[in-house]
């Protein structure tokens, strides 16, 4: 499977030749296990074992300064957990995450690194739940500035809030209003303004437009792109919608049941998906261009993460699974070579490694 020598070399950003200097965020072997056991007494009485949920399992990736990494996957694949680990809402069970070369665990203790923490902010899916309904918009945006003591004096604060509101396409007069006076799209703009208030450089965006109508989604996606250009922001963009990820991301990681199964430059991933799950996801996108090609929905559903299948978690749904897949968990391996010898894509699949994956007729011209 070492075919396809297309000239996407400038985009092939992984493999051994990654420039260390430009990596802003590095996630290495991140693992998050939740203990979802019944309470201790119930467990003792019922002689039930501990129940552990492996939400994220050995996930590694880099995000370079100024780029957007998209993470896609279905509900329960662990993509939101990854975002929460990065911004520090959850603590890692194992592995490391470094931001600008500094381990994020030192943000809490090391004095010198405290100022780094505010550089990582998060945008949540539901703009109705993530803004305090009792606070005026100006106070919501001012909170991180006050908490971090970034500015002194009323006038300076006012000026900064007005600037932030304008930056996200609202007017300074909106600062006096309450969240309920805004539509979903405008509320998401307020969330973005709040994230930018602490002079963030990195935004973990967890399904930021999934609750919005398409025309409003377009407004927010355009705004995010403009802000990225203007302020040099770096995004981790999480979505279940592949078309949205295709629009915003430079590189894309596909997650299934806690693991990254494929990670590649956007063009490579969409033009030449290798992992059977990635192919399935691409085939599942409704065909708006109505090319008339019948889609073949893959049977089955995501298994219960409390009792994941052995070996490759995708094997019960995979048309190419064999005995090895049921036994051995595949790890991410480089596939395909660009002209400089760098890997085109990283795939965790035995079938790909063994060359058992048939060539794919490209439904989607990229």
Partner 1 sequence: MTRALLEVEHLRVEFPTRRGVLVAVDDVSFTIAHGEVLGVVGESGAGKSLTGAAIIGLLEPPGRIAAGEILLDGERIDRLPHEAMRRIRGRRIGAIFQDPLASLDPLFSIGQQLVETIRTHLPMSDAQARKRAVELLQEVGIPAAARRIDHYPHQFSGGMRQRVVIALALAANPQLIIADEPTTALDVSIQAQIITLLKRLCRDHGTAVMLVTHDMGVIAETADRVAVMYAGRIVETGPVADVINAPKHPYTVGLMGSIPSIAADRERLVQIDGSMPRLTAIPSGCPFHPRCPRVFDRCVDERPDLLDAGTSRAACWLHAAVTA
Residues in contact with partner 1 by CB under 8 A are 74-75, 183, 185-186, 213-219, 221-222, 225, 240-244, 246-247, 270, 280-290, 295, 297-299, 301-302, 364-366
In the complex, what is the shortest distance from the CB of residue 165 to partner 1, in angstroms, rounded to a whole number?
17
User: Which of 185, 187, 138 has its CA nearest to residue 164?
Assistant: 138
Instruction: In angstroms, give the least distance from the CB of 300 to partner 1.
Output: 8
**The Cα angle at residue 154 between residues 152 and 156, in degrees rounded to 5:** 65
The C-alpha angle with vertex 198 and arms to 195 and 200, in degrees rounded to 5, equals 65
Residue 4 or 285: the one with the smaller Cβ distance to partner 1 is 285
Buried b (16+ CB within 10 A) or exposed e, 197-228: bbebbbbbbbbbbebbeeebbebbbebbeebb
Nearer to partner 1, 239 or 345 (CB): 239
- The answer to whether the CB of 325 falls within 8 A of the CB of 313 is no
d(CA 168, CA 220): 9
Nearer to partner 1, 144 or 273 (CB): 273
Cα separation, 265 vs 357, whole angstroms: 20
List, in order, residues 6 or more apart from 150 with CB less than 8 Å away. Answer: 144, 198, 199
Pairing of strands 343-347, 259-265: antiparallel
Distance between first and last Cα of the chain: 20
Phi/psi-derived region of residue 98, left when phi > 0, alpha when psi is between -120 and 50, beta in every other case: beta
**Closer residue to partner 1 in complex, CB, 73/175:** 73
Residue written as token pair 């300074």: 172
Q: In angstroms, what is the minimal distance from the CB of 206 to partner 1? A: 16
Query: CB of residue 125 vs partner 1: minimum separation in angstroms?
Result: 14
Q: Which is nearer to partner 1, 102 or 302 (CB)?
A: 302
Q: Which is nearer to partner 1, 107 or 256 (CB)?
A: 256
Nearest-approach distance from CB 193 to partner 1, in angstroms? 18
> Helix (H, G, I), strand (E, B), or coil: what is residue 68?
strand
Q: How far is the CB of 240 from partner 1 (least distance, A)?
A: 6
- Which CB, 126 or 199, lies closer to partner 1? 126
38 secondary structure, DSSP code: P
Distance from CA of residue 276 to its chain's centroid? 20
Q: Which is nearer to partner 1, 156 or 284 (CB)?
A: 284
As a dihedral over the C-alpha atoms of residue 324, residue 343, residue 103, residue 232, rounded to 10 degrees, the angle is -140
Q: What is the dihedral of CA 7, 9, 15, 18, to 10 degrees?
A: 180
User: Nearest distance from residue 297's CB to partner 1, in Å?
Assistant: 4
Q: At closest approach, how far in Å is the CB of 364 from partner 1?
A: 5
- Nearest distance from residue 188's CB to partner 1, in Å? 12
- Other CB atoms within a 10 A radius of the CB of residue 271 amount to 17
């Amino acid at each position: 499977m070492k075919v396809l020598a297309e000239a996407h070399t400038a985009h092939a950003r992984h493999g051994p030749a990654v420039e260390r200097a430009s990596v802003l965020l590095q996630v290495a072997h991140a693992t998050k296990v939740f203990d979802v056991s019944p309470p201790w007494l119930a467990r003792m009485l019922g002689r039930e074992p501990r129940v552990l949920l492996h939400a994220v399992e050995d996930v590694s990736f880099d995000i370079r300064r100024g780029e957007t990494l998209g993470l896609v996957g279905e509900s329960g694949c662990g993509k939101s957990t990854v975002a929460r680990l990065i911004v520090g809402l959850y603590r890692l069970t194992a592995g490391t995450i470094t931001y600008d070369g500094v381990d994020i665990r030192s943000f809490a203790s090391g004095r010198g690194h405290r100022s780094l923490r505010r550089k990582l902010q998060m945008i949540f899916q539901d703009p109705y739940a993530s803004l305090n309904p009792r606070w005026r918009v100006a106070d919501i945006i001012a909170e991180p500035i006050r908490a971090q003591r970034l500015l002194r004096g009323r006038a300076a604060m006012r000026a900064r809030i007005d600037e932030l509101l304008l930056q996200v396409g609202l007017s300074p007069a909106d600062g006096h209003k309450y969240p309920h006076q805004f539509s979903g799209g405008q509320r998401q703009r307020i969330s973005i303004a709040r994230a930018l208030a602490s002079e963030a450089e990195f935004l973990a965006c967890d399904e930021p437009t999934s609750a919005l109508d398409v025309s409003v989604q377009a407004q927010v996606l355009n705004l995010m792109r403009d802000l990225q250009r203007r302020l040099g922001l770096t995004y981790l963009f999480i979505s279940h919608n592949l078309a949205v990820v295709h629009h915003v991301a430079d590189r894309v990681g596909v997650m299934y049941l806690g693991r990254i199964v494929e990670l590649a430059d956007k063009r490579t991933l969409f033009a030449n998906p290798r992992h059977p799950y990635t192919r399935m996801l691409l085939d599942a996108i409704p065909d708006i261009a109505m090319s008339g090609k019948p889609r073949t929905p893959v049977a089955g559903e995501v298994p219960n993460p409390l009792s994941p299948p052995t070996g490759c978690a995708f094997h019960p749904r995979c048309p190419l699974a064999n005995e090895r897949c049921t036994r051995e968990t595949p790890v991410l391996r480089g596939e395909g070579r660009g002209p400089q010898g760098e890997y085109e894509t990283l795939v965790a699949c035995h079938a790909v490694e063994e060359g058992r994956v048939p060539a794919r007729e490209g439904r989607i011209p990229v």
